[in-house]
Structure 1
Amino acid sequence: MMDLAVGTPALPFSAIMDTGSNLVWAQCQPCVECLPHSALQYDPSNSSTYSASPCTDSYCKALPSTCTTACEYHYDYMDSSWTDGVLSTETFTFGSGDPIPNVTFGCGYNNSFNTPFYASGLVGLGPGSLSLVSQLGFGKFSYCLTSVDDLSSTGTLLLGSFADLKEPTSAIRSTPLVADSFYFLDLRGISVGATLLPIPSDTFANKILIDSGTTFTVLPPAALDLVKQELRSVVDLPPANDIPWFDPCFRLKSSEVPQLPDMTFHFSGADMVLPMRNYMLVDTEAGVMCLAMNPSSVPMSIFGNFQQQDMHILYDVAGKSLSFAPAQCDKL
């Protein structure tokens, strides 16, 4: 999540940062199908800087749209979420920065989005022409996502020259971005503790999409089954088989949570070490903990935002590399 503001006068709202898509959009009033937790009451008729984009606009042609007098778009996401609205331009303000005029965005009047967060829109950070980073001409950006347990803080998005990693050089790792369509990384393997899992070399087809808009990492069953098998061998707790959506789950014997070994994702030239809190969901009240990963139903692997907690991640789009380092995201 990130904080920003839309319109003149500026109305603050929270939005999801999504490296897996390109469109920037915000919920507009009056909405037909509205986001359930949205607090944004943005009515474009009350903003002096709003303008609907014409059918001839080049950005309109980059979207599935119908056009009469304005560019009416429909935009789908991989998880079956969608937004319908009017492509428009507006002034946006990011954090404490100066207002940025004429940002092209979707004024979403009809939105269905699968998120547990209090989001009122989404900021697409993909490599396509409609994304925020492409519109503003930034060759690099970075973000830092706070822990899911820290409900008082939001993530940090840094653009351009502000995006550089300030962490110690010894802590920074870098790996190539291996495709132009979206941000794919070359994943070579996964370890749990000191054990390198015997995942067949062709399982990932050398690519995994890093996506700040997907919650949990998604892996092919051939890889995920080996992760589950190794966890069952190292966790000395009874199974909790009555938990939907997650597998494996374990029944805690007390409120004390056992410490598990780190999990390492071996990317080309860089290892990302995940502490237990970045791959296990722990609910001490319910007395269970579960692996926070899901099997893929299509031949694609996704590195989700739960696994990116407390990590400062730099996308050097122009230089085709991704760098990262552990960080205290609320201190950036």
Structure 2
Amino acid sequence: MASSSLRRRSVFHGGALVVVLAVVALVSAPRRTGAAPPAKTAGPRWHVVSVSSLLPTTAACAASKASSNSSALSVVHRHGPCSPRQARGGAPSHAEILERDQDRVNSIHRKVSADAAASVINPARATKDVSLPAKRGISLGTGNYIVSVGLGTPAKKFSVVFDTGSDLSWVQCQPCKDCYDQQDPLFDPAQSSTYSAVPCDAQECDELDSPSCSSDNKCRYEVVYGDQSQTDGDLVRDTLTLTPSAKLPGFVFGCGDENSGLFGQADGLFGLGREVVSLPSQAASKYGPGFSYCLPSSSSAAGYLSLGGAAPANAQFTAMVTRSDTPSFYYLKLVGIKVGGSSIKVPPTVFVSAGTVIDSGTVITRLPETAYAELRSAFVQSMGRYNYKKAPALSILDTCYDFTGHSKVQIPTVALVFAGGATVNLDFTGVLYVARVSQACLAFASNGDDSSISILGNTQQKTFAVVYDVANQRIGFGAKGCT
């Protein structure tokens, strides 16, 4: 299992992170005196945005459109003004966010490699003799999104990170031997009339990667994340309340009584992975297989998470790829990238050979070195038309610009092309990671080689309705999903 992940134009103001929503206008061809017209290309070529929109604005939380699904939850960034559980001491710095993001990426790469090796040793994954890496979750990162859910009867509210790279959901529970600090009271099983522990001989216990059994016949779970955060506790059942009209009786989750690590002050984690213990899998019989979400363009806005596979009319779909070595992850086939409407010169095999996983907890999309080099080259060439001043690199981001003194900036569009022809034209917020007006960086990074798996991060997913249509084994992207 795994765990959790922000990026768009974000700035620090007064020590707090304020991620600013820019109103983006798309134009097909910007004009510049004395410039030769660009070669004719297909699709939009430029984003034009006012530099003033990159500056700090009010930190108030703005309302946004949510899914019409009755089970839809509001999605907010854990460090933004919409978050009900902002960490004490303020938000992490941009360098910290990106360093932790690299830790998560390294953890995903290790897990994929280790699980692939384990599947060769034991393809059926049927014995417990080998210590399978699936027991270890991926690093949590810092660019996490959270939702608020109710647990128990009567329902008590908890703010939890949601993560497509994890399966088991869990919260901290009373009595607790060792719990990290959180703002909400811990879940107290004694206060719920619908609570029950899962016994050791139950099927749900057997479905865990490495369960153990307590002396009183309670199924015990353990997850150690890639950053050494850890949760241990009882596997239990209780009523999950998504909205006042949407309840899921008998929801199986972890009741953590020994928890430590980098969870911030979130009350726990909800897994959206593909295994049977995940939230979407448990809810499939009631709401249909699959789920969708929209990550807002700014930490001062809200998106949604909705169970079921319903898709907006404008969604473009690509096949959902299944890999037996890492069954929790959602894979798709990225086959190309367009910059300013023109395809970069990289064979599709460069993208396809290692594969691509879509992850809600990774901030910055990682690409094979060959693909990233071509993307960066095309982007730099396009930006060179306007002589923007270069800025220093920001951690893992090596292509940055200083927009000081400009009233507007023109940025080439970037589109991701997936198998089957789905072409996702990224929002401006998916192209640049803006730490400050004087440091706006291309929001992609290299894997450092062509053999490591690519990762589609949450920065590039912002503003899209991202649909995980499990019934039809496909993933879709609908533009302007949060508005």
**TM superposition score normalised by structure 2:** 0.60
Higher alpha-carbon deviation: 207-216 or 70-79: 70-79
Question: Equivalent residue for 2:248?
Answer: 100
Question: Equivalent residue for 1:146?
Answer: 296
CA displacement, residues 284-315 of structure 1 (integer Å, 9 cap, x when unaligned) = 3x621122333337721111122111111221
In structure 1, how many angstroms separate the alpha carbons of the residues matched to 2:269 and 2:223?
12
Q: Are 2:172 and 2:179, in contact at CA under 8 Å, matched by a contact in 1?
A: no
In structure 1, how many angstroms separate the alpha carbons of the residues matched to 2:397 and 2:257?
34
Q: Are 1:3 and 1:95, in contact at CA under 8 Å, matched by a contact in 2?
A: no
Give the secondary-structure state (helix, strand or coil) at the position aligned to 1:20.
coil
Q: Are 1:52 and 1:88, in contact at CA under 8 Å, matched by a contact in 2?
A: yes
Say whether 1:227 aligns with 2:372: no
For residues 118-129 of structure 1, the aligned pairs below 5 Å read 119-129=266-276
CA displacement, residues 265-295 of structure 1 (integer Å, 9 cap, x when unaligned) = 10012011102211311133x6211223333
Letter matched to residue 460 of structure 2: Q
In structure 2, how many angstroms separate the alpha carbons of the residues matched to 1:108 and 1:256?
51
Give the Å deviation of 1:172: 2.3
Give the secondary-structure state (helix, strand or coil) at the position aligned to 2:277.
coil
Higher alpha-carbon deviation: 304-313 or 233-242: 233-242
Give the Å deviation of 1:31: 6.3
Unmatched runs of 5 consecutive residues or more in structure 2: 1-145
For residues 195-206 of structure 1, the aligned pairs below 5 Å read 195-205=342-352
Q: Are 2:365 and 2:456, in contact at CA under 8 Å, matched by a contact in 1?
A: yes
Say whether 1:67 aligns with 2:218: no
Letter matched to residue 342 of structure 2: T
Question: Equivalent residue for 1:279?
Answer: 431
Question: Equivalent residue for 2:189?
Answer: 44
Question: Equivalent residue for 2:160?
Answer: 15
Letter matched to residue 400 of structure 2: C
In structure 2, how many angstroms separate the alpha carbons of the residues matched to 1:232 and 1:80?
38
Decide which structure has the larger Cα Rg and report it.
2
**TM superposition score normalised by structure 1:** 0.85
With over 3 angstroms needed to count, the CA separation of the structure-2 counterparts of 1:121 and 1:319, relative to structure 1, is same
1:178 pairs, out of 321, 329, 339, with 321
Say whether 1:193 aligns with 2:340: yes
The higher relative CO (CA closer than 8 Å, separation ≥ 6) is in 2
Give the Å deviation of 1:94: 0.6
Give the Å deviation of 1:80: 5.4
With over 3 angstroms needed to count, the CA separation of the structure-2 counterparts of 1:252 and 1:32, relative to structure 1, is farther
Say whether 1:158 aligns with 2:306: yes
Question: Equivalent residue for 1:309?
Answer: 462
In structure 2, how many angstroms separate the alpha carbons of the residues matched to 1:240 and 1:81?
35
CA displacement, residues 125-154 of structure 1 (integer Å, 9 cap, x when unaligned) = 22211111211233232212212x24342x
In structure 2, how many angstroms separate the alpha carbons of the residues matched to 1:173 and 1:193?
20
Higher alpha-carbon deviation: 275-284 or 232-241: 232-241
Give the Å deviation of 1:78: 5.4
Greater helix percent: which structure? 2
Number of matched pairs: 320
With over 3 angstroms needed to count, the CA separation of the structure-2 counterparts of 1:136 and 1:275, relative to structure 1, is closer
CA displacement, residues 188-241 of structure 1 (integer Å, 9 cap, x when unaligned) = 111111232222433223531112232222222232233223332233333322
Runs of 4+ in 1 over 6 A off after TM superposition: none
With over 3 angstroms needed to count, the CA separation of the structure-2 counterparts of 1:132 and 1:263, relative to structure 1, is same
Greater strand percent: which structure? 1
